[in-house]
Amino acid sequence: MAVVLILALLVVGSVLFHMMSPWWWTPIASNWTYIDSTLIITFWITGVVFVGVVSFVAYCVWRFRHRPGNRAAYEPENRRLELLLASGTAIGVAAMLVPGLFVWNQFITVPNDAAPVEVVSQQWLWSFRLPGADGKLGRSKTRDITPENPLGVNKNDTTGLDDVIIEGGELHLPVGKPVHILLRSIDVLHDFYVPEFRAKMDMIPGMITYFWFTPTRTGTFDILCAELCGVGHPQMRGTVVVEEAADYQAWLEQQQTFTQLLASGVPQPAN
């Protein structure tokens, strides 16, 4: 009976903790409410299964407890029960996976009007590259990285000469405008994550990964590395500032271009 009581308290305590917990996710600041909805569906399905399974175990412990004179019945197979359990499990797994597949398709289907923004990670620093007046990012390669060219932008690609280079500074974005985030790592595995945007993606050396989102409210948000990348991983933080279009344009005009960076020979952090 003590086991039954413990299991019952586990169910009640888990439900109360979920309903009364102060540790909810932060308010969303992008268009990805779909991700929140998918998580809520998963929580409901797994929560109902958890309550059902633990309650069933508690019932079995109580119902089939040892009593003098009782003998256990042996039933090696029950096709009807097996079919029911297999079907129920399949339906539950499908209900959790299918919404995520639709959201993932939206997550990687970039709108045509999304502005490209490159995020470059290294131990333990975030850097950014934004297109200049031509609206295009120039080509870049990790092997072209030098102290004077920290992001490895191709000097012979004319579309990259006006690219805005931000090494270790803040990333500013205009509110209400979709952005195409291009992710590149120059050393080890990292992960670009802004909790309020509900958007994250691994950054794999030698590859360019991507996603897109639309900032929906102004403010200052923390960039976190969500992949263990070395001893400085906890301190690998950055900042995204979402602001009105006029303020964003004023900030952008104050940043140095790749051409200016090459002329100075010394990278200047963003203000």
115-264 belongs to which homologous superfamily? Cupredoxins -  blue copper proteins (2.60.40.420)
CB-facing half-sphere around the CA of 176: CA atoms within 13 A: 5
**Residue ranges per structural domain of the chain:** 2-66+76-108, 115-264
pLDDT one-digit tens code per residue, 27-36: 899 999 888 8
Of all residues in the chain, the percent with pLDDT exceeding 90 is: 32
What are the distances in angstroms from CA 26 to CA 42, 47, 103? 18, 21, 20
Task: Report the pLDDT value the prediction gives residue 130, as an integer from 0 to 100.
Answer: 92
**Packing angle, helices 2-20 and 33-63, rounded to 10:** 160
SS3 annotation, 196-246: HHCEEEEECCCCCEEEEECECCCEEEEEEECCCCCCCHHHCEEEEEEECHH
Look at residue 3 and give its three-state secondary structure.
helix
Cα Rg of the chain, angstroms:
26
Residue carrying structure tokens 């509900």: 198
What are the distances in angstroms from CA 72 to CA 4, 66, 75? 19, 10, 10
To the question of pTM greater than 0.85 for the whole model, the response is no
Average pLDDT value over all residues in the chain: 87
Look at residue 155 and give its three-state secondary structure.
coil
Look at residue 6 and give its three-state secondary structure.
helix
**Cis peptide preceding 62, ω within 30 of 0:** no
Please tell me the distance from the alpha carbon of residue 101 to that of residue 169, in angstroms, as a whole number.
35
CB-facing half-sphere around the CA of 179: CA atoms within 13 A: 23
The answer, yes or no, to whether residue 41 has pLDDT greater than 90, is no
